Amino acid sequence: MRYFVLLLLLILYAGALYGQEENDPFKRLDDKFEELSEQQDQNFQDYINRQDAKYKAWVARIEAKWNSFE
């Protein structure tokens, strides 16, 4: 009988831990970190695209000036 009660308490404790998983603050922090990381990756990619456009415009101006000398 004593083992049955211990088993029942263990099952209830495991169920309580499983229920807390949804409210786990570390999981919410992980989700927030992942969201910010994706946003940061997108911002960095936008920055790279802007720099690439500036570089291509600069090269086009240099080529136009070079061609005007010929």
pLDDT band at 19 (very low <50, low <70, confident <90, very high): low
Is residue 23 pLDDT above 70, yes or no?
A: no
Number of domains within the chain? 1
pLDDT band at 11 (very low <50, low <70, confident <90, very high): confident
Question: How far apart (Å, rounded) are the C-alpha atoms in residues 8 and 16?
Answer: 12
Question: Could you list the residue range(s) of the whole structural domain that residue 18 is in?
Answer: 2-69
Distances (CA, A) of 66 to 33, 55, 58: 49, 16, 12
CA angle 25, 31, 35 (to 5 degrees): 145
Answering whether pTM is above 0.75, one says no
pLDDT digits (tens, 9 = 90+) for 26-63: 777 888 888 889 999 999 999 999 999 999 999 999 99
Question: How far apart (Å, rounded) are the C-alpha atoms in residues 45 and 33?
Answer: 18
CA angle 35, 41, 42 (to 5 degrees): 90
